[in-house]
């Protein structure tokens, strides 16, 4: 008689049998990652794969912010963002685009915390951009290298297969496989 609550020593499920036979054949030997501990982050939460994917794909964390916080962050970063722009029209366009998104968020029912951000003063942003541009030092034009004066030929840019620069190659061609490769 089998012990109470135990399993019948004669009965083996088909899955258990397949696992036992594969282990006897050595199918589980030399698997990638065998002998290494499971990373701690996988043990901590059930959403660890999401965190790993976000880290690998370099997804910015601002994607997950509620609209109110995202707009507040963009208003705070606006002076630094427009500093890189070269024309007053571009600065106005960026500020007006942000104002449009703020007004749209104020009109819609909130999906998170209430939007407490007011539209930015476009003329104030432009004035701040002008003042910051006046303080920035103007870089003198770069002098040609000494080799150029001597008549040396500059080196060609680094090119990939078929003579195209790597930056201009299509993303599906960057994997290293060619059209004729099989496998």
Q: Angle of helix 88-107 relative to helix 122-135, nearest 10 degrees?
A: 140
Contact present, 78 and 117 (Cβ < 8 Å): no
Residues 97-126: tens digit of each pLDDT = 999 999 999 998 877 888 888 999 999 999
Point out which residues pair with 128 in neighbouring strands. Answer: none
Which pLDDT does position 92 carry in this prediction? 95
Which residue matches tokens 């104020």?
106
Percentage of the residues of the chain whose pLDDT score is greater than 70:
66
Q: Angle of helix 122-135 relative to helix 67-83, nearest 10 degrees?
A: 40
Angle (CA) 56 71 64, round 5°: 30
Enumerate residues 6+ apart whose C-beta is below 8 A from 67: 105, 110, 111, 112, 115
The band of 167, judged by pLDDT with boundaries at 50, 70 and 90, is very low
The number of angstroms, rounded, from the C-alpha of 36 to the middle of its chain's C-alpha atoms is: 28
Between CA 112 and CA 133 the distance in angstroms is 37
For the record, the structure tokens of 159 come out as 């090119």
């Amino acid at each position: 008689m089998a012990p109470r609550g135990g399993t019948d020593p004669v009965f083996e499920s088909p899955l258990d049998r397949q696992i036992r036979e594969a282990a006897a054949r050595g199918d589980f030997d030399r698997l990638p990652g065998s002998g290494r501990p499971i990373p701690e982050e996988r043990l901590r939460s059930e959403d660890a794969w999401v965190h790993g994917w976000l880290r690998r794909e370099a997804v910015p964390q601002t994607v997950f912010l509620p609209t109110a916080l995202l707009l507040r962050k963009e208003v705070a970063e606006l002076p630094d963002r427009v500093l890189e722009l070269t024309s007053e029209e571009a600065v106005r366009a960026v500020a007006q685009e942000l104002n449009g998104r703020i007004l749209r968020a104020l009109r819609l029912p909130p999906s998170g915390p209430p939007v407490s951000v007011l539209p930015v003063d476009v003329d104030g942003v432009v004035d701040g951009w002008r003042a910051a541009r006046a303080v920035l030092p103007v870089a003198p034009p770069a002098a040609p290298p000494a080799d150029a004066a001597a008549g040396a030929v500059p080196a060609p840019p680094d090119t990939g297969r078929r003579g195209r620069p790597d930056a201009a190659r299509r993303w599906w061609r960057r994997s290293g496989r060619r059209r004729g490769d099989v496998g």
